[in-house]
Structure 1
Amino acid sequence: MESPAEISEAVGAEMRARLQETLARRAELLGGGADARAEPSDKAATAASPVTSTAVSASASTSAAAASAGEASKHEWVAPPMHSDAAIRAQTGQGWDDWIDAIDAGVGRDAAHPRIVEWVMANSAQNGWWSQGIAVSFERMTGRRLAGQMPDGTFTANRSRTLPVDREVLRALIADDAARDALLGFETEFRSKVASKTYKVLIARDAQPFDGLLFTFDAAPNGRTKFAIAHEKLQVFDEIELWKAHWGAWLDALELALA
């Protein structure tokens, strides 16, 4: 296997043209007007911004998909929930209509995301993971959040790949201050302790802050690693697919360089 610097240079060279295309497309998306941008809240604890008309239009196909999948509902969903009605009913004893009615009558539709989670945990037997899922799904269905949207109104794009190398190899690549810029194609700032389970990296172009990347490394059988990238703080809904495609190509280049 090549050195971290050689791997980083190989990936960077392979992705150079693709990154320019991605950035050009991103510029087009962000130039679509203020109504197309996510409006982050002043505090993480405040409620997520209502979904804009642009975002609602983007989610129309997901709502139709939920209907075609047989999700009968008395409420009109802006976007589908994280789990099917059958799955949530099997877990909690209540369907999504019941949960929407309960949260509306309990903590209220305008409550901040953490408050909804707290209310679900306090008023049901669900653990933190399921309570988060119920809160996120409630926000999606009622138009407060789209798939991939965070409580502050921004979006996250996720990609993962199981790679045929030990996770320490990948951790060393991301933690390498000398080679990381070439590897990712951005000016980077490592914001985690080397011993952390996940690595947070801030990225910039021409000294202008961009977004954040969160890397996770999970051991897989036969010395492999499930390597995941979460590209955070995206400003518009359509950036999700743009960056998913970009990081998918980046994972292709990385896998080739590691071979």
Structure 2
Amino acid sequence: MASGPVNANTANVGDDAVAQATGESRETWFARLDEEGAQRDAWVHKAIATWLVAEHGVDPWWAQHVTVAYEQARGIRRPGQRQDGTYEASVTRTVELEKTVALRALAAVVERELGTAPLALNVTAKHPTARFPLEGGEFVLASASDRAGGRSAIGLTWGRLPGDERLAELKARMREWLAAVEA
């Protein structure tokens, strides 16, 4: 698939990493899935991932990766598209803050920019999140997770978009919000 406002699944994970983690290259998995009739018989996402895990012992995270890559390579799913047909855009950044402090700072930025408080703010989870509901069913999810050295990865996902037209604009907007989180 051509690169657009959202990268294809294969853009961020190399073929060597896939082969090392799953025992096969992406192209080998794609050929095996084609041989099994995954595209011809219109296997749904869950069927592909289950086949990789149950029949071939692929780790569930890697099974999801291979499944999405296969769907994108075969034109079943576009970059940024979710299984339900909606789209989402995500951005991340590493900051020099502990994850709870980082999430609270990010949630404050998002609240200021959206003009609405989070529906839910969970700072006690392993991966803390804040969820902001928007009109039309869309949402923004802020998240934080630990990184080495007391740092955190913070992220934003704008989800349930009906199409891919706004992906580039929203990614740029969310990158500005991430940049506003000070260490």
Q: TM-score, normalised by structure 1?
A: 0.57
**2:50 equivalent to 1:118:** yes
Q: How does 1:60-209 map to 2 (within 5 A)?
A: 60-61=2-3, 81=10, 83-106=13-36, 108-109=38-39, 110-173=42-105, 182-191=111-120, 193-196=122-125, 197-204=127-134, 208-209=135-136
Q: Using the TM superposition, give the Cα deviation of residue 181 of structure 1 relative to its aligned residue in structure 2, in angstroms.
A: 6.9
Please, what is the CA RMSD of the aligned residues?
2.9
Structure 2 CA distance for aligned equivalents of residues 146 and 250 of structure 1: 26
8 A contact 2:111–2:117 mirrored in 1: no
Superimposed CA distance per residue, residues 222-256 of structure 1 (whole angstroms, 9 cap, x where no aligned partner): 4432211122212222322211100111122233x
Residue of structure 2 aligned with 1:213, choices 129, 140, 161: 140
8 A contact 1:216–1:228 mirrored in 2: yes
Report the CA distance shift for 1:108/1:224 in structure 2 as closer, same or farther (over 3 A): closer
Name stretches of at least 5 consecutive residues in structure 2 with no aligned partner.
Answer: none
Corresponding residue for residue 155 of structure 2: 228
Q: Using the TM superposition, give the Cα deviation of residue 84 of structure 1 relative to its aligned residue in structure 2, in angstroms.
A: 4.5
Secondary structure of the equivalent of 2:56? coil
Q: Using the TM superposition, give the Cα deviation of residue 210 of structure 1 relative to its aligned residue in structure 2, in angstroms.
A: 4.7
Corresponding residue for residue 166 of structure 2: 239
Secondary structure of the equivalent of 1:254? coil
Structure 1 CA distance for aligned equivalents of residues 66 and 28 of structure 2: 11
Structure 2 CA distance for aligned equivalents of residues 132 and 236 of structure 1: 22
Amino acid at match of 1:246: R
**What is the number of residues matched between the two proteins?**
176
Structure 2 CA distance for aligned equivalents of residues 249 and 122 of structure 1: 42
Q: Using the TM superposition, give the Cα deviation of residue 173 of structure 1 relative to its aligned residue in structure 2, in angstroms.
A: 4.3
> What is the percentage of aligned positions where both structures have the same residue?
24
Secondary structure of the equivalent of 2:138? strand
Superimposed CA distance per residue, residues 5-34 of structure 1 (whole angstroms, 9 cap, x where no aligned partner): xxxxxxxxxxxxxxxxxxxxxxxxxxxxxx
Q: TM-score, normalised by structure 2?
A: 0.77
